[in-house]
Structure 1
């Protein structure tokens, strides 16, 4: 959702070598109704460059980072991503080259889903980028207007041919009679004609009917033999084409979403929000070559509906490109953990605070954890080496874990840390 007081929707972060891609991305997103901020265009002359960057990041809701080899080597890109991470601004990596983030960039971007545009044509993936940005902002994109193309010019009718007049037509000449033979010959008397021979007629009985005459059967030659094999080959090719058409168009396949986390996952499919319990699965049926674009999330809520800790988001962009069912696992990476607290003290817990000196990581809120010895989930947090935990109960007794010395991270997926509170 949009944050009150935000002046821009999207902050575009890129190395100076990728400024051309960033400007084209900015133009496309603003055409969709999403306000963007980019340094090469929006920093006014004479103003403090660093302060302008920080103000623009804090005034935006989403930071899109153009991930490339140049971005890996840019200190400005690293600082801008770190500032967005510190202020809890949504980060959306847009990878234009087949590279992996290095050093500190890997630390900040490891928990986010990337959009890949590594085929050499980043502009072809701007539409997917705009839809993901709109989903993070909680709004609909501005409909694009299609310009009507002018129709083809009407062709003028061809001139009609002039009709032929009777006098212009060529009249055929009458045939001339044969010339008389100059030599006169004596007439020859005709021979007497013989009487015509009449064949004897056969009397057909009433119960006798003429038999139908069957046409002669041509012998099987070389040409008819080749045509037979040709038709067989064409029929076999047609069956293969129908099989592939059925497989690619009509046959459906199943995407099995597997929840490997310790909490429920909420995923939007075909406009409906589906809930996948911890350790459970959900089967989604789609046609072959279907392009699925959606997002899933998991989080812990308090009794008033507020989110405890951080919200984990998966940006799903996949294509059903095979002719068989396949699985899509969802899990928490090693950079996060689930905090669980067990209260074995004489009083109820009413306050908890999480801090880390590294880039000002702080979470504090009033909570209620009864002293019943049961385990309660307190939210997802980052696996920081200097993470401090402070818990206080109703008797103003408190316990602290300083500089992460009581924290042990197994560096596995879907990990959790349990704190026994007792004094």
Structure 2
């Protein structure tokens, strides 16, 4: 990354309120005053609105941004179909939904020259992208920066790096994210991914449904979990590039490509709330028990995409960040559990406190709805005999994509070489301890 690019990426502005209106200009005077679309936009720019929600959605839910750009987005040739590679999209019908517990090792190394888009590999998902419901779980493994531009009309992309930093060049400016951060690219926003290291690996949640937002806090009150002020939006930075640029668009599950005669990342100024953002997961304010018992994992929700049923999310993004455990007479690892929600869990670094081995950074597990899961035998034995004193968990960073619908694995995931076929064995050593006479 060049010095100018790094300076711009590190010049991110903190959002003063998540989902509120924000603005940025790369050239002074590029933002018009008082009117979104004046007769003539400043500096010879074109005014364009990008709508992430329907025009008539309630004000609190409406997402849109005004872009002031060198050329309008309409100035492009026709798109033609491109190879989908390893990307799959809902509805997922290649395999039957599986009630078995599944776990995968990390993706194998990519072929030389694989960029972020070519390195996307779909594990599974649910819903229907054409109906804007549900989600998909993707992984990526890349060893080359993109020299093309990508946008996703099917949903927003929540990117969770696990290995290697990323520079995301978006229409709104630059986002610099490292493992331990997440980045969100809204539906329809064009971007390019440049690697900051020799290779990059991580996870992606493609959310077809309502945009992610901060969960309500309810009885928690005004403070806790993710703070709106810790989310960062890019500072405007544009490309004024003449020459052929490949632009790939994901639309209703398929990739389409066109060659522009200029870079579409040419927005000089913008304002609105349909914007990319980044968040450092270590800023998450963890809450937990200070007396007894174990809080439900919903207490770790960073972002939620609501469904048509209040309290039942299309997808929640949950993080298990460093935290203190202090409960009295409490089994402190996550408890044995069956859940109406389906859970895909990944690991960014370190170890997860409910698993002794087999769950490694870059890997992941899928526990579909009502599939029983919980600590393995070794973890259960150790936690049952542990001295109950304040304990700091600071050697791991895990997360979940939790969804109201079953996650159907793709055929490539169901038959992958890196699928762990002996996963059930981690619970086989749990012995009977029941003694009725005691």
Q: TM-score higher than 0.5 here?
A: no
* More strand by percentage: 2
Q: What TM-score, normalized to structure 1?
A: 0.23
- Larger relative contact order, structure 1 or 2 (CA cutoff 8 Å, min sep 6): 2
Name the structure where helix makes up a greater proportion of residues: 1
